[in-house]
């Protein structure tokens, strides 16, 4: 292994981490702040950004999980206790799971109400139509919204912990992930 490899995450891992962070933040801002926009075409376009960015996350998460399985994380110096490593791994697995599940639930939320899901001009095939999905529409939407809130909190904690590692513990956790 080369020195650079042992020091930090590889270029692909960093690219996936930061591009997906941006996509998720745009998607979340679009849906959380949609009410600031007047009803009509503009608000519609803002909400469409939530869908489009979320679908990009769905495409990239497959690549990211495959890449991660094949490429172990670089070591942290000074090293973490077993409990700290376990907590970090649990949080990372939860982040990966939510990045996979949320866009799927989002698609099902739309389709269960009989709405098309458009991805940059291509209508996705329907897994649920209004007939089969309507009885579950409210539950799917609540689950999507609830897990979306869980992801937001998890991201906030994840960011604070990254800053804590850098500023207080003064280890290389954050610098391994920086471009
Ligand atoms: C990373 C991916 C995603 C995240 C983190 C996410 C998160 C959220 C959150 C937090 C809300 C609730 C907003 C609020 O009312 O406070 C929401 C609503 C919603 N999301 Fe997503 N979402 C994602 C992807 C998608 C996708 C791909 C679709 C559909 C193609 C979708 C469709 C919806 C719909 C229909 C709502 C309800 C909007 C409304 O109340 O009218 N989401 N999402
Ligand atoms: C939407 C926002 C974000 C998501 C979904 C996210 C997700 C993730 C995931 C899943 C990992 C695990 C990588 C692995 O498997 O080794 C990770 C690592 C990391 N993230 Fe984020 N991240 C986000 C934003 C941020 C931000 C804003 C920061 C900086 C303040 C940050 C700093 C880090 C660091 C330092 C690591 C390496 C942690 C370690 O190896 O123990 N992330 N991130």
Q: Answer whether 80 contacts ligand 2 (Cβ < 6 A).
A: no
Ligand 1, atom 20, residue with closest C-alpha? 106
Residue 106: pLDDT band (50, 70, 90) is very high
Cα(67) to centroid(ligand 2), Å:
15
Picking from 117, 105, 111, the residue whose alpha carbon sits closest to that of residue 131 is 111
Q: Would residue 178 count as lying in a domain? A: no
Q: Would residue 140 count as lying in a domain? A: yes
Sign of CA dihedral 17, 23, 26, 31: negative
Rg (CA), the chain: 19
Question: What is the pLDDT, as a whole number, of residue 130?
Answer: 85
Q: How many domains does the chain have?
A: 1
Q: What is the pLDDT of residues 36-54, one digit of tens each?
A: 999 999 999 999 999 999 9
Picking from 137, 132, 83, the residue whose alpha carbon sits closest to that of residue 109 is 137
Q: Would residue 165 count as lying in a domain? A: yes
Q: What is the pLDDT of residues 119-145, one digit of tens each?
A: 999 999 999 988 899 999 999 999 999
Q: Would residue 175 count as lying in a domain? A: no
Q: Would residue 11 count as lying in a domain? A: yes
Q: Report the nearest atom of ligand 1 relative to the CA of 104.
A: 27
Q: Would residue 177 count as lying in a domain? A: no
């Amino acid at each position: 292994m080369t020195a650079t490899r042992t020091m930090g995450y590889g270029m692909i891992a960093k690219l996936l981490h930061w591009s997906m962070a941006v996509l998720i933040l745009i998607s979340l801002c679009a849906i959380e702040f949609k009410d600031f926009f007047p009803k009509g075409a503009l608000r519609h376009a803002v909400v469409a950004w939530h869908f489009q960015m979320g679908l990009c996350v769905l495409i990239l998460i497959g690549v990211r999980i495959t890449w991660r399985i094949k490429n172990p994380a670089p070591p942290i110096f000074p090293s973490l206790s077993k409990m700290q490593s376990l907590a970090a791994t649990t949080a990372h697995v939860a982040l990966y799971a939510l990045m996979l599940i949320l866009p799927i639930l989002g698609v099902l939320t739309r389709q269960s109400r009989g709405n098309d899901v458009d991805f940059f001009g291509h209508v996705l095939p329907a897994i649920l139509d209004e007939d089969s999905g309507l009885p579950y529409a409210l539950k799917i939407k609540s689950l999507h919204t609830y897990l979306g809130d869980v992801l937001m909190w998890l991201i906030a904690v994840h960011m604070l912990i990254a800053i804590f590692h850098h500023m207080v513990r003064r280890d290389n956790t954050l610098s391994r992930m920086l471009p």
